[in-house]
Structure 1
Amino acid sequence: MDQRLHNRLNQIPDKILSPEFLSGQGLGNEIGFWIFDYEPEHELDVRAYIEFLEGMLANKHSHLKVLNINLLKSLVGYLSDRNFVDKAIQMQKKKGDEALLKALKGPLHMDKFAPYLTEKHSATEQDIIFITGVGSVWPLLRAHNLLNSLHSLLGHKPVVLFYPGQYNGQELSLFGKIPSNNYYRAFRLIP
Protein backbone atom coordinates (compact mmCIF):
# COMPACT_ATOMS: atom_id res chain seq x y z
CA MET A 1 0.00 0.00 0.00
CA ASP A 2 1.15 3.53 -0.74
CA GLN A 3 2.64 5.05 2.45
CA ARG A 4 0.84 8.39 2.08
CA LEU A 5 -2.50 6.63 1.67
CA HIS A 6 -1.68 4.34 4.60
CA ASN A 7 -0.99 7.38 6.79
CA ARG A 8 -4.20 9.12 5.71
CA LEU A 9 -6.33 6.00 6.28
CA ASN A 10 -4.87 5.56 9.76
CA GLN A 11 -6.07 9.06 10.69
CA ILE A 12 -9.70 8.22 9.96
CA PRO A 13 -10.62 6.56 13.29
CA ASP A 14 -9.47 9.50 15.42
CA LYS A 15 -11.31 11.92 13.15
CA ILE A 16 -14.64 10.08 13.00
CA LEU A 17 -14.63 9.21 16.69
CA SER A 18 -14.05 12.79 17.81
CA PRO A 19 -16.99 14.43 19.59
CA GLU A 20 -16.80 17.33 17.13
CA PHE A 21 -17.26 14.98 14.16
CA LEU A 22 -20.06 12.96 15.74
CA SER A 23 -21.99 16.02 16.86
CA GLY A 24 -21.27 18.21 13.84
CA GLN A 25 -19.63 20.87 16.02
CA GLY A 26 -17.19 23.30 14.54
CA LEU A 27 -18.71 23.18 11.08
CA GLY A 28 -20.16 26.67 11.26
CA ASN A 29 -23.69 25.36 10.73
CA GLU A 30 -22.61 23.53 7.58
CA ILE A 31 -23.75 20.03 6.79
CA GLY A 32 -21.76 17.13 8.21
CA PHE A 33 -20.64 15.73 4.86
CA TRP A 34 -17.04 14.65 4.41
CA ILE A 35 -15.10 13.27 1.46
CA PHE A 36 -12.14 10.94 1.67
CA ASP A 37 -10.55 11.16 -1.76
CA TYR A 38 -7.89 8.78 -2.98
CA GLU A 39 -6.18 7.71 -6.17
CA PRO A 40 -8.39 5.22 -8.06
CA GLU A 41 -5.57 2.68 -8.36
CA HIS A 42 -5.81 2.25 -4.57
CA GLU A 43 -9.46 1.19 -4.66
CA LEU A 44 -8.81 -2.31 -3.35
CA ASP A 45 -6.63 -0.99 -0.50
CA VAL A 46 -9.37 1.46 0.50
CA ARG A 47 -12.04 -1.24 0.35
CA ALA A 48 -9.92 -3.49 2.60
CA TYR A 49 -9.39 -0.62 5.03
CA ILE A 50 -13.11 0.19 5.18
CA GLU A 51 -13.82 -3.46 5.99
CA PHE A 52 -11.18 -3.32 8.74
CA LEU A 53 -12.59 0.00 10.02
CA GLU A 54 -16.13 -1.37 10.19
CA GLY A 55 -14.91 -4.38 12.18
CA MET A 56 -12.87 -2.22 14.53
CA LEU A 57 -15.81 0.11 15.15
CA ALA A 58 -18.17 -2.82 15.75
CA ASN A 59 -15.74 -4.37 18.27
CA LYS A 60 -14.43 -1.34 20.10
CA HIS A 61 -17.26 1.18 19.67
CA SER A 62 -20.35 -1.00 19.48
CA HIS A 63 -22.47 1.83 20.90
CA LEU A 64 -22.10 3.62 17.55
CA LYS A 65 -24.41 2.70 14.71
CA VAL A 66 -22.25 2.75 11.57
CA LEU A 67 -23.75 2.19 8.14
CA ASN A 68 -21.85 1.50 4.93
CA ILE A 69 -23.99 2.19 1.87
CA ASN A 70 -22.38 0.47 -1.10
CA LEU A 71 -23.84 2.32 -4.06
CA LEU A 72 -23.53 -0.57 -6.50
CA LYS A 73 -25.37 -2.99 -4.22
CA SER A 74 -27.96 -0.32 -3.42
CA LEU A 75 -28.47 0.55 -7.07
CA VAL A 76 -28.98 -3.11 -8.03
CA GLY A 77 -31.36 -3.56 -5.08
CA TYR A 78 -33.30 -0.45 -6.06
CA LEU A 79 -33.65 -1.57 -9.68
CA SER A 80 -34.51 -5.11 -8.57
CA ASP A 81 -37.22 -3.88 -6.19
CA ARG A 82 -38.79 -2.09 -9.17
CA ASN A 83 -38.38 -5.05 -11.55
CA PHE A 84 -36.01 -3.06 -13.78
CA VAL A 85 -32.97 -5.34 -13.79
CA ASP A 86 -34.06 -7.79 -16.49
CA LYS A 87 -35.57 -4.99 -18.55
CA ALA A 88 -32.35 -2.99 -18.27
CA ILE A 89 -30.21 -5.95 -19.33
CA GLN A 90 -32.43 -6.62 -22.34
CA MET A 91 -32.44 -2.95 -23.33
CA GLN A 92 -28.67 -2.74 -23.10
CA LYS A 93 -28.31 -5.85 -25.29
CA LYS A 94 -30.78 -4.60 -27.91
CA LYS A 95 -30.20 -0.84 -27.94
CA GLY A 96 -26.83 -0.26 -26.28
CA ASP A 97 -25.43 1.76 -23.42
CA GLU A 98 -26.70 5.18 -24.47
CA ALA A 99 -30.31 3.99 -24.71
CA LEU A 100 -30.01 2.30 -21.33
CA LEU A 101 -28.58 5.42 -19.68
CA LYS A 102 -31.38 7.51 -21.14
CA ALA A 103 -34.04 5.02 -20.01
CA LEU A 104 -32.67 4.87 -16.46
CA LYS A 105 -32.48 8.66 -16.01
CA GLY A 106 -36.07 8.79 -14.75
CA PRO A 107 -36.00 5.83 -12.37
CA LEU A 108 -32.56 6.84 -11.04
CA HIS A 109 -33.39 10.50 -10.55
CA MET A 110 -32.14 11.61 -7.16
CA ASP A 111 -35.64 12.66 -6.10
CA LYS A 112 -36.39 8.92 -6.11
CA PHE A 113 -33.06 7.22 -5.40
CA ALA A 114 -31.83 9.34 -2.47
CA PRO A 115 -35.03 8.82 -0.43
CA TYR A 116 -34.83 5.10 -1.24
CA LEU A 117 -31.29 4.97 0.18
CA THR A 118 -32.20 6.73 3.39
CA GLU A 119 -35.35 4.68 3.95
CA LYS A 120 -33.96 1.30 2.91
CA HIS A 121 -30.94 1.66 5.20
CA SER A 122 -32.66 3.59 8.03
CA ALA A 123 -29.95 6.17 7.49
CA THR A 124 -31.46 8.79 9.77
CA GLU A 125 -31.10 6.37 12.70
CA GLN A 126 -27.35 5.88 12.21
CA ASP A 127 -24.50 7.68 13.94
CA ILE A 128 -22.07 7.57 11.00
CA ILE A 129 -22.75 6.81 7.34
CA PHE A 130 -20.09 5.66 4.89
CA ILE A 131 -20.88 5.81 1.18
CA THR A 132 -18.75 3.55 -1.01
CA GLY A 133 -18.83 2.26 -4.57
CA VAL A 134 -18.95 5.67 -6.29
CA GLY A 135 -16.73 4.56 -9.15
CA SER A 136 -18.78 1.41 -9.72
CA VAL A 137 -22.01 3.29 -10.46
CA TRP A 138 -20.66 5.96 -12.78
CA PRO A 139 -22.18 7.19 -15.13
CA LEU A 140 -25.54 6.03 -13.77
CA LEU A 141 -25.09 8.06 -10.58
CA ARG A 142 -23.01 11.16 -9.93
CA ALA A 143 -21.55 11.86 -6.50
CA HIS A 144 -22.38 15.58 -6.46
CA ASN A 145 -26.03 14.90 -7.34
CA LEU A 146 -26.28 12.27 -4.63
CA LEU A 147 -24.71 14.50 -1.97
CA ASN A 148 -26.93 17.42 -2.93
CA SER A 149 -30.01 15.23 -2.59
CA LEU A 150 -28.93 13.62 0.66
CA HIS A 151 -28.38 17.03 2.23
CA SER A 152 -32.09 17.68 2.74
CA LEU A 153 -32.66 14.10 3.94
CA LEU A 154 -29.73 13.75 6.35
CA GLY A 155 -28.77 17.32 7.27
CA HIS A 156 -26.06 17.27 9.94
CA LYS A 157 -25.73 13.49 10.10
CA PRO A 158 -22.01 12.63 9.64
CA VAL A 159 -21.56 11.19 6.15
CA VAL A 160 -18.22 10.10 4.68
CA LEU A 161 -18.07 9.60 0.93
CA PHE A 162 -15.10 7.47 -0.14
CA TYR A 163 -14.21 8.95 -3.51
CA PRO A 164 -11.84 7.43 -6.10
CA GLY A 165 -10.58 10.68 -7.52
CA GLN A 166 -9.81 14.15 -6.30
CA TYR A 167 -11.70 16.64 -4.20
CA ASN A 168 -10.14 20.03 -3.58
CA GLY A 169 -12.91 21.45 -1.42
CA GLN A 170 -14.60 22.97 -4.46
CA GLU A 171 -14.67 20.38 -7.24
CA LEU A 172 -14.90 16.63 -7.58
CA SER A 173 -12.98 14.84 -10.31
CA LEU A 174 -13.86 11.16 -10.57
CA PHE A 175 -10.84 8.98 -11.32
CA GLY A 176 -8.92 12.27 -11.55
CA LYS A 177 -10.20 12.55 -15.12
CA ILE A 178 -13.95 13.18 -15.13
CA PRO A 179 -14.82 16.65 -13.89
CA SER A 180 -18.04 17.09 -12.00
CA ASN A 181 -20.17 20.09 -11.25
CA ASN A 182 -18.80 22.15 -8.41
CA TYR A 183 -19.56 20.73 -5.00
CA TYR A 184 -18.40 22.84 -2.12
CA ARG A 185 -20.59 21.74 0.77
CA ALA A 186 -18.44 18.85 1.95
CA PHE A 187 -15.15 18.92 3.81
CA ARG A 188 -12.09 16.84 3.08
CA LEU A 189 -11.96 14.22 5.82
CA ILE A 190 -8.18 13.85 5.83
CA PRO A 191 -6.18 16.27 3.65
Structure 2
Amino acid sequence: MKPALEERLNQIADRLQDKDVLSGAGLGNEIGFYIFDYPPEDEMQVRQHLGFVVDLLAKKRADLKVAHINLFELVISVLKERNLLDRAMKMQREKGDGELYRALKGPLHEEKIAKALIAAADPQAHSMILLSGIGSAWPLIRSHTLLNALHPLMGGKPLVVFYPGSYDGQGLRLFNRLSDRNYYRAFRLVP
Protein backbone atom coordinates (compact mmCIF):
# COMPACT_ATOMS: atom_id res chain seq x y z
CA MET A 1 0.00 0.00 0.00
CA LYS A 2 1.23 3.49 -0.79
CA PRO A 3 2.33 5.49 2.28
CA ALA A 4 0.14 8.49 1.37
CA LEU A 5 -2.96 6.31 1.05
CA GLU A 6 -2.16 4.47 4.27
CA GLU A 7 -1.85 7.80 6.07
CA ARG A 8 -5.22 8.95 4.70
CA LEU A 9 -6.90 5.63 5.57
CA ASN A 10 -5.63 5.92 9.13
CA GLN A 11 -7.45 9.25 9.49
CA ILE A 12 -10.90 7.91 8.52
CA ALA A 13 -12.00 6.59 11.93
CA ASP A 14 -11.15 9.86 13.68
CA ARG A 15 -12.87 11.95 11.00
CA LEU A 16 -16.03 9.84 11.20
CA GLN A 17 -16.17 10.55 14.94
CA ASP A 18 -15.54 14.28 14.51
CA LYS A 19 -18.46 16.33 15.85
CA ASP A 20 -18.34 18.64 12.83
CA VAL A 21 -18.76 15.69 10.45
CA LEU A 22 -21.50 14.16 12.58
CA SER A 23 -23.43 17.41 12.99
CA GLY A 24 -22.66 19.08 9.69
CA ALA A 25 -21.42 22.13 11.62
CA GLY A 26 -19.53 24.75 9.71
CA LEU A 27 -20.76 23.62 6.32
CA GLY A 28 -22.44 26.90 5.44
CA ASN A 29 -25.88 25.32 5.08
CA GLU A 30 -24.48 22.66 2.76
CA ILE A 31 -25.58 19.11 3.33
CA GLY A 32 -23.20 16.70 5.01
CA PHE A 33 -21.94 14.74 2.02
CA TYR A 34 -18.30 13.67 2.15
CA ILE A 35 -16.08 11.97 -0.39
CA PHE A 36 -13.12 9.75 0.38
CA ASP A 37 -11.41 9.42 -2.98
CA TYR A 38 -8.63 6.94 -3.61
CA PRO A 39 -6.68 5.39 -6.48
CA PRO A 40 -8.90 2.73 -8.08
CA GLU A 41 -6.04 0.23 -8.11
CA ASP A 42 -6.18 0.31 -4.28
CA GLU A 43 -9.81 -0.83 -4.13
CA MET A 44 -9.10 -4.02 -2.19
CA GLN A 45 -7.05 -2.23 0.48
CA VAL A 46 -9.76 0.42 0.91
CA ARG A 47 -12.48 -2.25 1.20
CA GLN A 48 -10.48 -4.09 3.84
CA HIS A 49 -9.80 -0.90 5.78
CA LEU A 50 -13.43 0.18 5.57
CA GLY A 51 -14.48 -3.12 7.16
CA PHE A 52 -11.91 -2.54 9.89
CA VAL A 53 -13.23 1.01 10.51
CA VAL A 54 -16.86 -0.13 10.73
CA ASP A 55 -15.91 -2.85 13.24
CA LEU A 56 -13.71 -0.44 15.21
CA LEU A 57 -16.46 2.16 15.50
CA ALA A 58 -18.97 -0.48 16.62
CA LYS A 59 -16.61 -1.49 19.44
CA LYS A 60 -15.30 1.95 20.38
CA ARG A 61 -18.43 4.05 19.99
CA ALA A 62 -21.61 2.16 20.70
CA ASP A 63 -23.45 5.49 20.57
CA LEU A 64 -22.33 6.03 16.96
CA LYS A 65 -24.61 4.01 14.71
CA VAL A 66 -23.07 3.54 11.27
CA ALA A 67 -24.86 2.03 8.28
CA HIS A 68 -22.57 0.72 5.54
CA ILE A 69 -24.17 0.17 2.15
CA ASN A 70 -22.32 -1.41 -0.76
CA LEU A 71 -23.98 0.03 -3.87
CA PHE A 72 -23.24 -2.99 -6.04
CA GLU A 73 -24.78 -5.34 -3.47
CA LEU A 74 -27.79 -3.02 -3.24
CA VAL A 75 -28.25 -3.16 -7.03
CA ILE A 76 -28.10 -6.97 -6.96
CA SER A 77 -30.64 -7.00 -4.13
CA VAL A 78 -33.01 -4.69 -6.02
CA LEU A 79 -32.76 -6.87 -9.14
CA LYS A 80 -33.41 -10.02 -7.09
CA GLU A 81 -36.44 -8.47 -5.35
CA ARG A 82 -37.91 -7.62 -8.74
CA ASN A 83 -37.05 -11.06 -10.17
CA LEU A 84 -34.82 -9.41 -12.76
CA LEU A 85 -31.36 -10.70 -11.90
CA ASP A 86 -31.45 -13.98 -13.85
CA ARG A 87 -33.13 -12.29 -16.82
CA ALA A 88 -30.55 -9.50 -16.72
CA MET A 89 -27.66 -11.95 -16.75
CA LYS A 90 -29.23 -13.87 -19.64
CA MET A 91 -29.82 -10.64 -21.57
CA GLN A 92 -26.21 -9.57 -21.04
CA ARG A 93 -24.93 -12.90 -22.40
CA GLU A 94 -27.28 -12.94 -25.39
CA LYS A 95 -27.59 -9.27 -26.34
CA GLY A 96 -24.60 -7.56 -24.74
CA ASP A 97 -23.92 -4.73 -22.36
CA GLY A 98 -25.67 -2.01 -24.37
CA GLU A 99 -29.02 -3.79 -24.41
CA LEU A 100 -28.71 -4.67 -20.75
CA TYR A 101 -27.96 -1.09 -19.82
CA ARG A 102 -30.99 0.17 -21.78
CA ALA A 103 -33.26 -2.50 -20.26
CA LEU A 104 -32.21 -1.69 -16.69
CA LYS A 105 -32.46 2.10 -16.93
CA GLY A 106 -36.01 2.06 -15.59
CA PRO A 107 -35.66 -0.51 -12.78
CA LEU A 108 -32.35 1.04 -11.68
CA HIS A 109 -33.34 4.68 -12.09
CA GLU A 110 -31.41 6.82 -9.59
CA GLU A 111 -34.55 7.84 -7.70
CA LYS A 112 -35.53 4.18 -7.22
CA ILE A 113 -32.02 3.25 -6.09
CA ALA A 114 -31.90 6.27 -3.77
CA LYS A 115 -35.15 5.13 -2.13
CA ALA A 116 -33.85 1.56 -1.85
CA LEU A 117 -30.65 2.87 -0.28
CA ILE A 118 -32.60 4.93 2.25
CA ALA A 119 -34.78 1.93 3.08
CA ALA A 120 -31.69 -0.26 3.58
CA ALA A 121 -29.68 2.31 5.55
CA ASP A 122 -32.49 3.82 7.62
CA PRO A 123 -30.88 7.23 8.25
CA GLN A 124 -33.22 8.01 11.14
CA ALA A 125 -31.78 5.07 13.09
CA HIS A 126 -28.14 5.82 12.24
CA SER A 127 -25.63 8.57 12.87
CA MET A 128 -24.24 8.36 9.34
CA ILE A 129 -24.22 6.29 6.17
CA LEU A 130 -21.10 4.97 4.47
CA LEU A 131 -21.45 4.16 0.78
CA SER A 132 -19.01 1.94 -1.09
CA GLY A 133 -19.16 -0.20 -4.24
CA ILE A 134 -19.48 2.81 -6.56
CA GLY A 135 -17.01 1.46 -9.12
CA SER A 136 -18.57 -2.01 -9.14
CA ALA A 137 -22.03 -0.59 -9.85
CA TRP A 138 -20.84 1.57 -12.77
CA PRO A 139 -22.18 2.08 -15.46
CA LEU A 140 -25.57 0.87 -14.26
CA ILE A 141 -25.56 3.51 -11.52
CA ARG A 142 -23.94 6.90 -12.03
CA SER A 143 -22.67 8.46 -8.84
CA HIS A 144 -23.63 12.03 -9.72
CA THR A 145 -27.28 11.20 -10.39
CA LEU A 146 -27.51 9.00 -7.30
CA LEU A 147 -25.99 11.68 -5.05
CA ASN A 148 -28.39 14.26 -6.42
CA ALA A 149 -31.34 11.93 -5.78
CA LEU A 150 -30.12 11.30 -2.21
CA HIS A 151 -29.90 14.98 -1.21
CA PRO A 152 -33.56 15.42 -0.25
CA LEU A 153 -33.81 11.96 1.36
CA MET A 154 -30.96 11.99 3.87
CA GLY A 155 -32.75 13.94 6.59
CA GLY A 156 -29.61 15.83 7.55
CA LYS A 157 -27.54 12.71 8.22
CA PRO A 158 -23.98 12.64 6.90
CA LEU A 159 -23.19 10.46 3.90
CA VAL A 160 -19.61 9.38 3.27
CA VAL A 161 -18.91 8.06 -0.23
CA PHE A 162 -15.84 5.89 -0.82
CA TYR A 163 -14.94 6.75 -4.39
CA PRO A 164 -12.47 4.90 -6.65
CA GLY A 165 -11.12 7.89 -8.51
CA SER A 166 -10.50 11.51 -7.71
CA TYR A 167 -12.49 14.40 -6.32
CA ASP A 168 -11.15 17.92 -6.67
CA GLY A 169 -13.78 19.64 -4.55
CA GLN A 170 -16.01 20.27 -7.56
CA GLY A 171 -16.13 17.23 -9.80
CA LEU A 172 -15.55 13.50 -9.68
CA ARG A 173 -13.38 11.42 -12.04
CA LEU A 174 -14.34 7.77 -11.75
CA PHE A 175 -11.32 5.48 -12.08
CA ASN A 176 -9.34 8.72 -12.67
CA ARG A 177 -10.52 8.51 -16.29
CA LEU A 178 -14.20 9.35 -16.56
CA SER A 179 -15.17 12.91 -15.77
CA ASP A 180 -18.82 13.67 -15.16
CA ARG A 181 -18.51 17.47 -15.30
CA ASN A 182 -21.05 17.91 -12.51
CA TYR A 183 -20.58 20.06 -9.45
CA TYR A 184 -21.02 18.27 -6.14
CA ARG A 185 -22.00 19.79 -2.87
CA ALA A 186 -19.61 17.54 -1.01
CA PHE A 187 -16.46 17.82 1.02
CA ARG A 188 -13.34 15.70 1.05
CA LEU A 189 -13.40 13.56 4.17
CA VAL A 190 -9.61 13.37 4.39
CA PRO A 191 -7.41 15.66 2.28
Consecutive unaligned residues of structure 1, counting only runs of 5 or more, are none
Aligned to 1:85: 85
- Tell me, in whole angstroms, the C-alpha distance in 2 between the residues paired with 1:87 and 1:123: 32
Q: What residue identity is the alignment partner of 2:188?
A: R
Paired residue secondary structure (1:162): strand
Please tell me whether the aligned partners of residues 36 and 161 of structure 1 are also in contact (alpha carbons under 8 angstroms).
yes
Q: TM-score, normalised by structure 2?
A: 0.97
Residue 155 (structure 1) shift: 4.2
Q: Is 160-169 or 108-117 further displaced after alignment?
A: 108-117
C-alpha distance in structure 1 between counterparts of 2:146 and 2:155, whole Å: 13
1:119 is matched with 119
Q: CA deviation at 1:14?
A: 1.8
Which runs of no fewer than 5 residues in structure 2 stay unpaired? none
2:130 is equivalent to residue 130 of structure 1: yes
Q: What is the aligned partner in structure 1 of residue 163 from structure 2?
A: 163
SS at match of 2:28: coil
Q: Deviation digits for residues 47-106 of structure 1, max 9, x if unmatched?
A: 111011011101110111101100111100011001110111121122111000000001
Distance apart, 1:128 and its partner CA: 1.4
The code of the aligned residue for 1:40 comes to: P
Runs of 4+ in 1 over 3 A off after TM superposition: none
Question: In 2, Cα distance between the equivalents of 1:115 and 1:58?
Answer: 25
1:7-86 aligned within 5 A = 7-86=7-86
Q: Deviations over 1:24-51 (max 9, x none)?
A: 1110110000000000111111111101
Tell me the number of residue pairs that the alignment of Structure 1 and Structure 2 aligns: 191
What secondary structure sits across from 1:170 in the alignment? coil
Name the stretch that deviates more: 13-22 or 58-67. Answer: 13-22
Identity %: 51
Match for residue 139 of structure 2?
A: 139
In structure 1, how many angstroms separate the alpha carbons of the residues matched to 2:155 and 2:165?
Answer: 24
Q: Which letter maps to 1:113?
A: I
The answer to whether residue 189 in structure 2 is matched with residue 189 in structure 1 is: yes
| RMSD of equivalent CA atoms | 1.0
CA distance in 2, matches of 1:46, 1:3: 13
